[in-house]
């Protein structure tokens, strides 16, 4: 049930420090086009160097000619230094996850490139298998450090910058592979064939080299093994410990036994459990004094039984395992965080439609909001030997870019160091504002209104209710332009876009989030319909031209809402379930599904049926456009076929697009997302506006 997490929103540019290259007024700027919209560059992760003078930045952008999303790494150096400014560090199209060495001399990263490393007899990397590369910051070519037959899925630097620790699935020998093929041929053993990870260590050389193992391509020395998959690693600053975050080899969340944080005593030992709770830990960071390991939780609970409260931050003392919650009195969601040079916490915290930077020196101290710009802060990164901080910032009218501040007290004097999305400032972008209403039970609900360019504050506008996924997410003051969040383009087409932060959204307290259980569509559905009623009552929305849409949980809600009312003239939905039993069985997050519906299907049959659109499809009259990823297992593509079959039987106008090779996120071929949005806008125009 849980889906893509993304934020969106609107606000005017309020800071003079931001550079804008185009002085045109909004009244004379041209409208945003489909082509321009899909030229947006996704930014992240962003990682500042230990001395705070450089920043490594990963970008993802569409390569239309090759029908791929290319991933590149950029390096920003402070002006006045050698090679100052922003330069491309890699250009192989498949480079990701840049990580600085503790001494600041190297950047290591994962790469899908296929090339022969330096050194006679060195093997060629297997095709399409990520391996670890490293490049010196002062110049030179990237060198490949790993060369096994299995993909490397995570790595970490040693404290002395001499080694890279990396995790890969435990490889089979040729004899094991041959024996398996002889017995099973192409049969898939659904669980029995799963394998855990081996963690190895490879030395980072001072000169070009041949891979350890020569022509065999074997990798570094073995450190330890685990029956689970390693999602993340981090070495302690004193070099004593290697911390591991584990998950199931299958990546299916059907129980919690594989999730935890483990410690490995270096140079090699068996992993020892440090954190094993009814939660899924992630994003580990060491404190500078080696005494605490920070981590975040977005799913589950550290304090007791499993429940999906808002994202939280914790630290666990090493090695005794005492867990402490940070920002415990904060009412919002604690999103991306970093650790300060003194062992404190810096985090992007969401309250309502704003995401600001907060800091806390120690767990019992105040979680204080720093003075910054109204909008949304993301990708917070702190330097280990400097007060500087790098971050990503945006508003709806201020496109996403990377900024560098001298310290937390100087956020509103931060320098913009990239211009990846500056071209968007030449177009008339929508303005927006928060909107509040009261639900039938008296609960105050908030959302965002995005107005068409040059129509801010107008009345009687055609309105698209655009529902975010999650459900634990929220819309707000944020710029985004992609196949998932295309509210800005819809507004450019003349729609007033209503983005409701219904029950289950973050930024409004844990109780607000939990009120969705087990009424996973009926309760938020009422919130959304009551918001539409209020917008119509106030004369803001034209009741004759109402439409609705969303993807994943937003699609789930859209499918439900068209069974509850006939007032929508058009609907666009993607990757949304219309029943809950088969979706529970196919979903890779079935444990969370069962939590949301208060039990497995045989334990909560009433909830599974009551919260399913399928049993009320006879009420649907809304022309509906559907999209799905052909390989989606988060929301099985069969749910979309089921909805299409129902609409066909009912004689309701509809169409279904299935994108081959795509999972839940359409991140395989950029043309798929472009076609998706193009056709959704056409559908809204045809049935919603009568064009």
What is the C-alpha to C-alpha distance for residues 358 and 349, in angstroms, rounded to an integer?
A: 6
- Token pair for residue 145? 């450090």
Alpha helices in 196-235 (DSSP H): none
pLDDT given for residue 18 in this prediction: 36
- Token pair for residue 150? 């299995």
* Tokens 């917008």 found at: 535
pLDDT given for residue 26 in this prediction: 63
Query: Over the stretch 655-667, which tens digit does the pLDDT of each residue have?
Result: 999 999 999 999 9
**Is the sign of the CA dihedral 17, 18, 19, 21 positive or negative?**
negative
pLDDT given for residue 28 in this prediction: 84
Q: DSSP string covering 496-521, please?
A: EEEEEE-TT-SSS-HHHHHTTSS-TT
pLDDT given for residue 246 in this prediction: 97
- Token pair for residue 130? 């990520």
3-class SS of residue 417: coil
pLDDT given for residue 140 in this prediction: 83
Query: Over the stretch 260-273, which tens digit does the pLDDT of each residue have?
Result: 999 999 999 999 99
Exposure pattern of 521-559 as b/e (b: 16+ CB <10 Å)?
bebbbbbbbbbbebbbeeebbeeebbbbbbbbbbbbbbb
DSSP state of 303: S
Query: Over the stretch 632-646, which tens digit does the pLDDT of each residue have?
Result: 999 999 999 999 999
- Token pair for residue 238? 């004193």
C-alpha dist (Å) from residue 42 to 12, 21, 59, 283, 676: 21, 20, 6, 20, 18
pLDDT given for residue 36 in this prediction: 95
What is the C-alpha to C-alpha distance for residues 518 and 308, in angstroms, rounded to an integer?
A: 12
pLDDT given for residue 25 in this prediction: 62
pLDDT given for residue 82 in this prediction: 66
Q: How many alpha carbons fall within 13 Å on the CB side of residue 573? A: 31
What is the C-alpha to C-alpha distance for residues 299 and 282, in angstroms, rounded to an integer?
A: 10
**Is the sign of the CA dihedral 351, 376, 316, 1 positive or negative?**
positive
C-alpha dist (Å) from residue 519 to 91, 504, 515, 526, 607: 48, 10, 8, 10, 8
Query: Over the stretch 378-397, which tens digit does the pLDDT of each residue have?
Result: 999 999 999 999 999 999 99
Q: In sequence order, what are the residues at sequence separation of 6 or more whose Cβ sits closer than 8 angstroms to the Cβ of residue 416?
A: 17, 18, 19, 401, 402, 403
Exposure pattern of 162-189 as b/e (b: 16+ CB <10 Å)?
ebbbbbbbeeeeeeeeeeeeeeeeeeee
DSSP state of 39: T
What is the C-alpha to C-alpha distance for residues 50 and 102, in angstroms, rounded to an integer?
A: 7
Answer for the pair 75, 56: CB distance below 8 angstroms, yes or no: yes
pLDDT given for residue 16 in this prediction: 32
* Tokens 């939590």 found at: 595
3-class SS of residue 53: coil
Answer for the pair 222, 198: CB distance below 8 angstroms, yes or no: yes
Residue ranges for the chain with pLDDT beneath 70: 1-26, 81-83, 114-128, 206-219
Q: How many alpha carbons fall within 13 Å on the CB side of residue 128? A: 0
What is the C-alpha to C-alpha distance for residues 391 and 103, in angstroms, rounded to an integer?
A: 22
What is the C-alpha to C-alpha distance for residues 286 and 201, in angstroms, rounded to an integer?
A: 19
pTM: 0.91
- The answer to whether the peptide bond before residue 319 is cis (omega within 30 degrees of 0) is yes
pLDDT given for residue 191 in this prediction: 84
Largest CA distance in the chain: 76
**Is the sign of the CA dihedral 174, 175, 178, 179 positive or negative?**
negative
Answer for the pair 634, 3: CB distance below 8 angstroms, yes or no: yes
- 641's enclosing H/E stretch is helix 637-650
pLDDT given for residue 691 in this prediction: 76
Answer for the pair 256, 306: CB distance below 8 angstroms, yes or no: yes
φ/ψ of residue 497, rounded to 5: -100, 120
- Token pair for residue 27? 């009244």
What is the C-alpha to C-alpha distance for residues 209 and 118, in angstroms, rounded to an integer?
A: 6
pLDDT given for residue 7 in this prediction: 33
């Amino acid at each position: 049930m849980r889906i893509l997490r993304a934020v969106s929103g609107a606000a005017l540019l309020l800071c003079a420090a931001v550079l804008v290259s185009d002085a045109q007024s909004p009244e004379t700027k041209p409208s945003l086009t489909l082509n321009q919209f899909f030229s947006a560059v996704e930014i992240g992760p962003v990682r500042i160097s230990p001395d705070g003078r450089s920043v490594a930045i990963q970008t993802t952008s569409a390569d239309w000619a090759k029908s791929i999303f290319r991933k590149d790494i950029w390096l920003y150096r402070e002006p006045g230094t050698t090679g100052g400014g922003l330069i491309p560090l890699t250009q192989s199209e498949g480079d990701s996850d840049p990580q600085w060495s503790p001494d600041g001399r190297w950047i290591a990263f994962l790469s899908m490139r296929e090339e022969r490393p330096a050194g006679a007899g060195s093997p060629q990397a297997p095709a399409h298998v990520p391996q670890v590369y490293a490049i010196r910051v002062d110049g030179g070519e990237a060198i490949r450090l790993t060369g096994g037959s299995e993909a490397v899925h995570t790595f970490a630097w040693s404290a002395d910058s001499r080694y890279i620790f990396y995790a890969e699935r435990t490889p089979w020998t040729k004899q094991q592979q041959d024996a398996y093929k002889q017995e099973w041929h192409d049969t898939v053993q659904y669980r029995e064939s799963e394998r855990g990870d081996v963690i190895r260590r490879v030395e980072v050389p001072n000169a070009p080299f041949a891979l350890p193992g020569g022509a065999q391509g074997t990798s570094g020395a073995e450190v330890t093994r685990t029956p689970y998959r390693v999602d993340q690693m981090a070495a302690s600053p004193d070099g004593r410990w290697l911390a591991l975050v584990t998950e199931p080899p299958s990546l299916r969340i059907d129980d919690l036994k594989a999730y935890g944080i483990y410690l490995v005593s270096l140079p090699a030992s068996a992993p020892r459990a440090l954190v094993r709770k009814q939660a899924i830990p992630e994003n580990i960071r060491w404190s500078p004094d080696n005494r605490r390991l920070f981590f975040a939780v977005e799913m589950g609970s550290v304090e007791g039984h499993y429940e999906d409260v808002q994202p939280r931050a914790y630290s666990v003392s090493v090695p005794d395992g005492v867990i402490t919650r940070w920002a415990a009195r904060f009412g919002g969601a604690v999103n991306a965080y970093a650790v300060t040079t003194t062992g404190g916490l810096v985090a992007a915290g969401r309250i309502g439609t704003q995401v600001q930077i907060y800091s806390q020196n120690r767990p019992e101290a105040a979680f204080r909001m720093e003075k910054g710009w109204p909008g949304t802060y993301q990708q917070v990164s702190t330097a280990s030997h400097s007060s500087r901080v790098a971050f990503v910032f945006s508003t709806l009218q201020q496109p996403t870019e990377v900024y560098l501040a001298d310290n937390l007290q100087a956020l509103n004097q931060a320098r913009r160091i990239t211009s990846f999305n500056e071209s968007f400032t030449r177009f008339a972008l929508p303005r927006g504002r928060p909107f509040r209403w009261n639900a039938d039970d008296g609960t105050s609900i908030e959302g965002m209104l995005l107005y068409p360019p040059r129509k801010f504050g107008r009345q009687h506008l055609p309105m698209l209710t655009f529902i975010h996924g999650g459900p634990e997410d929220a819309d707000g003051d944020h710029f985004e332009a992609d196949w998932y969040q295309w509210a800005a383009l819809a507004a450019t087409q003349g729609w007033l876009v209503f983005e409701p932060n219904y029950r289950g959204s973050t930024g409004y307290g844990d109780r607000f989030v939990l009120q969705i259980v087990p009424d996973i569509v009926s309760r938020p559905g009422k919130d959304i319909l009551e918001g539409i009623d209020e917008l119509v009552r106030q004369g803001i929305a034209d009741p004759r031209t109402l439409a609705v849409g969303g993807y994943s949980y937003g699609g789930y809600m859209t499918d439900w809402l068209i069974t509850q009312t006939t007032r929508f003239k058009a609907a666009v939905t993607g990757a949304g379930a219309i029943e809950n039993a088969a979706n529970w069985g196919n979903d890779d997050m079935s444990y969370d599904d069962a939590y949301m519906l208060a039990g497995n299907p045989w334990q909560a049959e009433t909830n599974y049926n009551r919260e399913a659109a399928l049993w009320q499809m006879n009420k649907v009259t809304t022309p509906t456009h559907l999209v799905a990823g052909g390989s989606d297992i988060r929301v099985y593509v069969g749910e979309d076929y089921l909805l299409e079959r129902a609409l066909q039987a009912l004689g309701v106008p509809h169409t279904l697009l299935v994108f081959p090779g795509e999972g839940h996120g359409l991140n395989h071929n950029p043309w798929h997302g472009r076609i998706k949005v193009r056709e959704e806008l056409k559908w809204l125009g045809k049935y919603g506006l009568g064009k």
